[in-house]
Amino acid sequence: MKNILNSTFDTQHQSAPFNSIKTEDYIPAIELEINKTLKEIEVICSNPETPTFQNTLDALDKSGKQLEIISGILFNLNSAETSQELQEVTQLAAPLLTKFQNDIRLNKALFIRIKAIYEQKEELSLTPEQLTLIEKEYKSFVRNGALLSSEDKDKLREIDTESAQLSLLFGNHVLADTQAYELHITDKSQLSGIPETSLNQAQELAVSRDKKGWVFTLDYPSYVPFVTYADDRELRKKMSLAFGKRGFQENENNNEELILKLIKLKKERANLLGYNSHADFVLEERMAESVLLVNNFLDDLSQNALPFAKKEWEQIEDFAKNKLGLEELNKWDTAYVSEKLKQELFDFDEQILKPYFPLENVLNGLFEIVNKLYGLSFKKASNIEGYHKDVTCYEVFNENGLFYALLYTDFHPRPTKKGGAWMTSYRTQNESQRPHISIVCNFSGPTENTPALLTFNEVTTLFHEFGHALHGMLANTKYSGLSGTSVSWDFVELPSQILENWCYQEEALSLFAKHYITGASIPMEYVQKIKNAAQFQQGLQTLRQLSFGYLDLSYHDENVSEIKSVYEHEEKQVSKLQFTPSIKENCMSTAFSHIFQGGYAAGYYSYKWAEVLDADAFELFLQKGIFNEETAQSFKDNILSKGGTEHPMKLYKRFRGAEPDPKALLRRAGLIEN
């Protein structure tokens, strides 16, 4: 019987036929496509003609497209709609795909052809995109061992295979610990302070689990409101400790040894390729270019933020002591006290905003904003399959009414979905096909009495992920390998982070912030309060992000072999930038999925790096108007549509007219003394 995964999908826009795919289809399909692709590569290598861009690079970029689609479906579903069976399949698929990648990157005949083209690239009259592609491919081969001896190539294969499996296992462990915990409460008096919408969700979750009362979990929409608003300090402590224990308990999900193995493997790989550390290896291909530059960047930000953070912490301590009777603050107190302080300082409780942010309104408003900026329109496609009943698919059309992309949205938590929010793709764009993009979030869901109402933080998260989606949907390059988000890791957050700025603008909010019952627009006094609160505790928030950046780099520098204890190493790195005492039962690293599973190893600093870019870029929108057509067109033409076709600084300067001003971020965050 023919495997549906091994042929072009006979569906509208060749969308993934999720309902027809069986778990047992993946491995046979992957094995078949690997063999097909290796034969395509063999045709390239055995071509007797002199290597040219067309017969080598063009052909290479077009190879393995079905394999890319199959593996994309598998690994995307493992994150968004997983099962024990699917996790087992990904564990089988990971080494197959790693071996396949190595079979290509360590193919001597293919590298000889690419090297020949690379060495004469200046004489070949190539377009900027073609020049970028040949440089990227040549470096990719070298950085994946093409110049190594046979013995070292075999060693590299072993390292890559083991690393891929360990990374998958890391994520599975975090998800397992997250799903294993629940806080079940039957006494309503213990729920003082918790918002009504959170209580309704907790009550419905209890019913779904055949329990009386309320159930809270470690999923963000349940966890964050609990530790922010629950008056019961002991219960906040209980939840906080459970959250901090993920991957750090004496059970089969413990990630400590796994982390030590992963960081040593990464260093071993870097050393094999001639680099002192994994960070040196990674940063060579980033905008930042070196460990020294990144450390200087982090140091400069921390020096600016630290004085503000100290004052903010003193303010929190004074408030906690004098208004709440708390003598000593712990990690389970900070969100709670900060929220109470914000309410007093700004006469502002973020819960009053939620009725103005029903998810459907926010999404439609976002569609309208994107239409004003970039001419895109969105039409719900009820005849295109999703992978879960919560998934909605939209056809996306450009300003000329032509089909431009598919967009899948998946907004609410469930036991089969990992935490957090992300954008991904099921099909990349190239000169002959338009992309299929997906955004996945974990927002508060609807209840029996209310639609899904978002917190303001969830609104900004939606805009953030939609910014990534725009990078994918508006991609307009010739080659898949340079399309959409295939850019330097410290450039990839610019499109996402800049879109968050519209959430703070009255002109944008007026399009979608309307009360779900009355339809009344959000009062302008609330908008002003959002703006006033935007700089609240920015010193502390900045230090928190920087501590993650420092911790990430420390796991990937040349001294990783000296790390014997994950907990002790983390403590040494972050204690200088935190104000609450450490907790022996908790370790952030063991659930730090960004760097141990999500590809951010030696790259977490990029969030702050991209904040500098987005703050500087948005200043131009503020000067010209947030819906200024010329500015939006320039951002679309030079950033969103160009992917990785040229060096990111070239693209940025073409849009902005100059390199980014680091002080733009400090100005926006209020971290410059006036």
Which is catalytic among the residues 312, 465, 493, 611?
A: 465
List CB contacts of 138: < 8 A, sequence separation 6 or more: 114, 115, 118
User: Strand 403-410 to strand 436-440: parallel, antiparallel, or no bridges (unpaired)?
Assistant: parallel
The rounded distance, in Å, linking the Cα atoms of 194 and 182 is 16
The rounded distance, in Å, linking the Cα atoms of 180 and 640 is 40
3-state class (DSSP) for residue 507: helix
3-state class (DSSP) for residue 385: coil
**Which DSSP helix (H) or strand (E) runs through 151?**
helix 150-180
What does the buried/exposed string (b/e) look like for 569-593 if buried means 16 or more CB atoms within 10 Å of the residue's CB? bbeebbeebbbeeeeeebbbbbbbb
The rounded distance, in Å, linking the Cα atoms of 327 and 321 is 5
The rounded distance, in Å, linking the Cα atoms of 645 and 642 is 6
Q: Where are the beta strands (DSSP E) in 413-536?
A: 422-427, 436-440
Locate tokens 């904003």: which residue? Answer: 369
Taking each helix axis from N to C terminus, what angle separates 538-555 and 606-624, rounded to the nearest 10 degrees? 140
Please say if 465 is a catalytic residue: yes
Q: Is 349 exposed, middle or buried (0-12, 13-18, 19+ CB in 10 A)?
A: middle
* Residue of 154, 44, 33 lying closest to 109 (CA atoms): 44
Query: Which residues are identified as catalytic?
Result: 465
